[in-house]
């Protein structure tokens, strides 16, 4: 049987091992790397820090405004009548940094916030641009790249002995890319439920019996099939059991927060997701992404929802910054606000703006960031970004602040292309404290 396994190609072997491991270990929660059959096996254990540098921040909360957030209506407002639409630039607490009049609360905290106004990407398609913004890489057939949460576990080790090192909220599970299965972020669909839907519906005694039996199967399976994928799956399984068997549910339970705090964040999915993110980084989770449930896609008249979208963003992020600051966490927690691309300067007849990948904004605050700055610029029409920064440069900036080595090559097993965290961009040093 071992000879048969070795004779299979990589994709077939991974599929076989996924099926066999599922049957032997008795679980249905398969790691995404096995389900997808993505090539590119790990070469280094995920719990061993690799060339760790001095970190400027301990954790990152990555806020993703899906649909293409309009930079002109948020972080790069204009005065040109044909461009500005219904918004206008206003002064903030930071000298020289203006934001849209729709973001007054963030304007009050601008000394801790900076904006990159000359972001650019090569695609204006939602799915492809989202992939680039999350990985730093363009999509390639047969390969899935890690996101920053998975990369940080590879470079820095696990951030907590039981809790996951990265979590995604209100989003699907991106998986670990070509890194080991246990580098996958934990997906949380509804922040109000936390991990309640994942917990076993059996008493602890029965759960322990199942765990012991499954461990016996696991040991036997590893002995007869000494393959790296089997060990990676087994490690993933053991960590999952440890996580679900303990008291891990408490950090995920936002009902324990006082009502006034929950209200400050906003009684909507994005607000409660950001509150959950704060709870998680406070307990030791290193990287949390929160995805907006509302879409910023304004191509077909979506600007009719602009006030509600901006109010949600302004109120929630300012509440998050305030909460982190009051807990003494803001100086070690980076907040990133971004989207897959921006919106055109021209306002269409229906009030919407088209896709605009060449010149948009993202904002960063808190840990490792020099506040009160605008990096790069676009002209009065929101075009001609200078200097041009790509998503990989944003990734390199975040990774550098977290203490990762962006020049360290990762060589996938089997001779795949060497990869770098976030696509080997150049850190924007003017942003870093």
From first to last of its 433 residues, the chain has per-residue pLDDT tens of 444 444 444 444 444 444 444 444 444 444 443 333 333 333 333 344 454 568 999 999 999 999 999 999 999 999 999 999 989 999 999 999 999 999 999 999 999 999 999 999 999 999 999 999 999 999 988 889 999 999 999 999 999 988 999 999 998 889 999 998 889 999 999 999 998 776 556 566 665 666 566 666 666 655 555 556 555 555 655 666 666 656 678 899 999 999 999 999 999 999 999 999 999 999 999 999 999 999 999 776 666 789 999 999 999 999 999 999 999 999 999 999 999 999 999 888 777 899 999 999 999 999 999 999 999 999 999 999 999 999 999 999 999 999 999 999 998 765 567 899 999 999 999 999 9
- Beta-bridged to residue 120, according to DSSP, are 358
* Claim to verify: residue 172 and residue 299 sit in the same structural domain: yes
* Claim to verify: residue 266 and residue 120 sit in the same structural domain: yes
* Claim to verify: residue 176 and residue 311 sit in the same structural domain: yes
> Where is the domain boundary, 248, 265, 282?
248
How many alpha carbons lie under 13 Å from residue 320 in its C-beta half-sphere?
Answer: 35
* Claim to verify: residue 192 and residue 211 sit in the same structural domain: no
Q: Is residue 42 part of a domain?
A: no
Q: Is residue 263 part of a domain?
A: yes
* Claim to verify: residue 300 and residue 195 sit in the same structural domain: yes
* Claim to verify: residue 206 and residue 338 sit in the same structural domain: no
Domain range enclosing 9 = 1-30+202-248
Structure tokens at 26: 């008795």
- From the number of C-beta atoms within 10 Å of its C-beta (0-12, 13-18, 19+), residue 328 rates as exposed
> Where is the domain boundary, 182, 214, 248?
248
> Where is the domain boundary, 248, 277, 310?
248
pTM given for the model: 0.83
* Claim to verify: residue 133 and residue 217 sit in the same structural domain: no
Q: Is residue 44 part of a domain?
A: no
Q: Is residue 421 part of a domain?
A: yes
Structural domain tally of the chain? Answer: 2
- From the number of C-beta atoms within 10 Å of its C-beta (0-12, 13-18, 19+), residue 13 rates as middle
Whether 317 and 107 have beta carbons less than 8 Å apart is answered as no
Q: Is residue 41 part of a domain?
A: no
* Dist. CA 7–CA 10, nearest whole Å: 9
* Dist. CA 303–CA 314, nearest whole Å: 16
* Claim to verify: residue 178 and residue 282 sit in the same structural domain: yes
* Claim to verify: residue 327 and residue 424 sit in the same structural domain: yes
* Claim to verify: residue 179 and residue 57 sit in the same structural domain: yes
**Helices and strands, number each (H, E), in the chain:** 13, 12
* Claim to verify: residue 426 and residue 299 sit in the same structural domain: yes
CATH of the domain at 296: 3.40.720.10
* Dist. CA 218–CA 221, nearest whole Å: 5
Gyration radius of the chain over CA positions: 22
* Claim to verify: residue 327 and residue 210 sit in the same structural domain: no
- Least Cα distance to 362 among 352, 376, 381 occurs for 376
């Amino acid at each position: 049987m071992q000879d048969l396994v070795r004779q299979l190609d990589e994709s077939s072997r991974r599929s076989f091992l996924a099926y066999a491991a599922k049957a032997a270990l008795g679980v249905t929660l398969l790691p995404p790397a096995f389900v997808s059959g993505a090539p590119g096996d790990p070469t280094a254990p995920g719990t061993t820090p690799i060339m760790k540098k001095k970190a400027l921040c301990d954790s990152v909360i990555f806020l993703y405004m899906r649909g293409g957030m309009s930079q002109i209506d948020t972080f790069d407002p204009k005065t040109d009548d044909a461009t500005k639409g219904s918004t206008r630039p206003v002064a903030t607490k930071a000298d020289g940094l203006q934001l849209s009049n729709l973001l007054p609360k963030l304007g009050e905290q601008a000394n801790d916030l900076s904006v990159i106004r000359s972001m650019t990407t090569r695609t204006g398609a939602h799915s492809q641009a989202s992939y680039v913004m999350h990985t730093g890489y363009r999509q390639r057939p047969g390969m899935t790249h890690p996101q920053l949460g998975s990369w940080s576990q590879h470079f820095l080790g696990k951030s907590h002995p039981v809790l996951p090192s990265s979590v995604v909220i209100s989003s699907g599970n991106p998986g670990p890319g070509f890194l080991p299965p246990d580098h996958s972020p934990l997906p949380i669909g509804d922040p109000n439920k936390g991990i309640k839907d994942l917990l076993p519906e059996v008493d602890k005694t029965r759960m322990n019996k199942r765990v012991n039996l499954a461990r016996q199967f696991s040991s036997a399976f590893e002995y007869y099939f000494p393959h790296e994928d089997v060990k990676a799956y087994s490690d993933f399984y053991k960590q999952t059991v440890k996580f679900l068997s303990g008291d891990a549910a408490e950090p995920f339970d936002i009902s324990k927060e006082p009502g006034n705090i929950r209200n400050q964040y906003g009684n909507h999915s994005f607000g409660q997701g950001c509150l959950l993110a704060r709870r998680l980084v406070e307990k030791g989770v290193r990287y949390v992404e929160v995805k907006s449930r509302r879409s910023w896609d304004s191509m077909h008249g979506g600007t009719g929802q602009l006030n509600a979208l901006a109010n949600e963003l302004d109120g929630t992020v300012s509440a998050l910054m305030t909460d982190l600051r009051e807990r003494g966490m803001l100086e070690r927690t980076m907040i990133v606000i971004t989207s897959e691309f921006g919106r055109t300067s021209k306002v269409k007849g229906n009030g919407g703006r088209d896709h605009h990948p060449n010149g948009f904004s993202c904002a960063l605050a808190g840990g490792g960031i020099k506040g009160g700055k605008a990096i790069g610029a676009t002209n009065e029409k929101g075009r001609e970004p200078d200097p041009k920064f790509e998503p990989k440069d944003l990734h390199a900036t975040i990774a550098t602040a977290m203490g990762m080595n962006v020049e360290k090559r990762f060589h996938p097993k089997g001779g795949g292309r060497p990869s770098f965290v976030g696509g080997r961009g150049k850190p924007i040093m003017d942003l870093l404290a």
